[in-house]
Amino acid sequence: MNLERFPAGSVYPRSVTEVDGTGFALVRRDGAKLLVVQGNADGFQGEWEGEHCFCPMSPANATVLRQRLAWLRPQPLGVSKSAGCGDRLGLATPGHIRAFRRTGELAPIFAQQSMRENARTGRSPQQVLDDAMWGVFQEGWHEAWGADADHLKTTADIDLCVKAGYTFYTIDPGDHVDNEAHVAAKELLDSKVQSLPWDVLDDSPESLRGRYLSTQFELEEMELVFDDISLARAAAKYGGAIAHTGEMYRHLVARMGSRVFELEVSVDETETPTSPLEHYFVASELSRLGVQWVSLAPRYVGRFEKGVDYIGDLAEFDAALAQHAAISRALGPYKLSIHSGSDKFRVYPSFARHAGALVHLKTAGTSYLEALRALAEAEPDLFRSVLSYALERYAEDSATYHVSADPGKVPLPESLPTEQLAGVLDLFDGRQVLHVTFGSVVVRFGARLMAALEENEEVHYRALERHFIRHFEPFLRHKGV
């Protein structure tokens, strides 16, 4: 591809490629990124200048480019060790790729965002996937990568993501988990069990008891035994969630047709932990209903709050995780998924030790926080405005998150010298305040924030690369990078 006439530094060198005699590259011109096509530009929308067609990074051009370059299409990743990198701003994928390149071993999911996050940022599933794809193109990533339609609760959510081209679907039946059953007395449990949707479950209370009672389930060095109470508790707590997951899965199968996809089941955003016995019950019943999945996210013991490290007893966590991992090997194999996995450095060694390659690390808000770290360095006055507004919004925005920050412990932005601004992101309370207010911040400061990050993209990418290497390194067989 002839790029000699382009100014030095205007071409993203890893993007330059040629397929079937047509050249493609990403360039920066007048502060904007453009796709350049030299050769067959059929289907692209753009303007010709000499032998080059300059095309905006539009949805239509993204679709055509995916058709031309196979590596820009997301793919299923199987049960290989993997990590998902949420990107609430649509600018982080190049930084994520650089971290994956440095560390190896983990298969990447670059497009990942929940419907809740989409609503708060004003983005669509299609935009999330397209933004990730442009980052893949910019960095010349030719290996397999996935796209996660995260925390889907309705069939309408599924339809949007199927249309956009996602390959990985995370079903979140948390609204159908009965948390009261965790501590309910036997009489109430029996009533709850009788009220389950037995037609959807294709089951009956009698058949359920016949499968689980008076039976010992031996898994490696572990033995699981249900009694009347533990079985009733597991069924009452998770029966509705299992039924909902089965319905969502069947809908997804019908919508995908012949297209290959992967499923994750998530019960992590619930009030009470998933015991190993309950994990076994959920996995066994999903399998009985014909649901196939590659990863499952229990609600682990302890607290997985947003934006901060694990809170809880590490010995207790490690012992429970060993049992969860044994179940995932025996009833799968499938991966254990770590939701709210950002910055949980205390428990990563336990996952590496017990789950091995059967692990999926899911991160989201930590990429946004690293964008703010880059902002503190590049545009300190804008960072001060963001922090001030986040402190105003925290009380309302935190209502739907598992967080415990005290905004009163966060330094006021006007009191901090420039060189100390980024340090707010290293404080427990500061990280959570900034983490959960992203939607409000994007609404008010989105254009200025995006412009600052695009103007200082290398600062942004370096911050992401450093941060994600720290996330990935505990999962590597060889620790050096």
Dump pLDDT digits (tens) for 342-389: 999 999 999 999 999 999 999 989 999 999 999 999 999 999 999 999
pLDDT, tens only, 113-170: 999 999 999 999 999 999 999 999 999 999 999 999 999 999 999 999 999 999 999 9
Residue tagged 């590659």 (tokens): 294
**117-155: string of b/e by CB count within 10 Å (b at 16+)?**
bbebbebebbbbbbbbbbbbbbbebeebbbbbbbbbbee
Residue 38 has pLDDT above 70, yes or no: yes
Catalytic center residues? 150, 264
Cβ(90)–Cβ(127) below 8 Å: yes
Confidence check: pLDDT of 8 > 90: no
**CA dist 172 to 48, 60, 162, 293, 389, Å?**
47, 31, 16, 13, 31
Which pLDDT belongs to residue 401?
Answer: 87
Predicted confidence (pLDDT) at residue 413 exceeds the cutoff of 70: yes
Q: Is there a contact between 433 and 396 (Cβ–Cβ < 8 Å)?
A: no
Per the rule left: phi > 0, alpha: psi between -120 and 50, beta: everything else, 275 is: beta
Residue 479 pLDDT class (50, 70, 90 cuts): very low
Provide the percentage of residues in the chain whose pLDDT is more than 90. 95
The alpha-carbon radius of gyration of the chain (Å, integer) is 24
C-beta of residue 40 within 8 angstroms of C-beta of residue 22? yes
Q: Give residue-wise pLDDT tens across range 224-272.
A: 999 999 999 999 999 999 999 999 999 999 999 999 999 999 999 889 9
Task: Determine if residue 85 is left, alpha or beta; phi over 0 gives left, psi from -120 to 50 gives alpha, anything else beta.
Answer: beta
Confidence check: pLDDT of 481 > 50: no
Q: Which CATH class is domain 72-178+226-365+470-475?
A: alpha beta
Q: Determine the pLDDT at residue 477.
A: 72
Tell me the percentage of the chain whose pLDDT exceeds 70. 99
pLDDT value at 193 more than 60: yes
pLDDT recorded at residue 76 = 98
What's the mean pLDDT when you consider all of the chain?
Answer: 96
For the chain, domain boundaries: 13-68, 72-178+226-365+470-475, 376-463
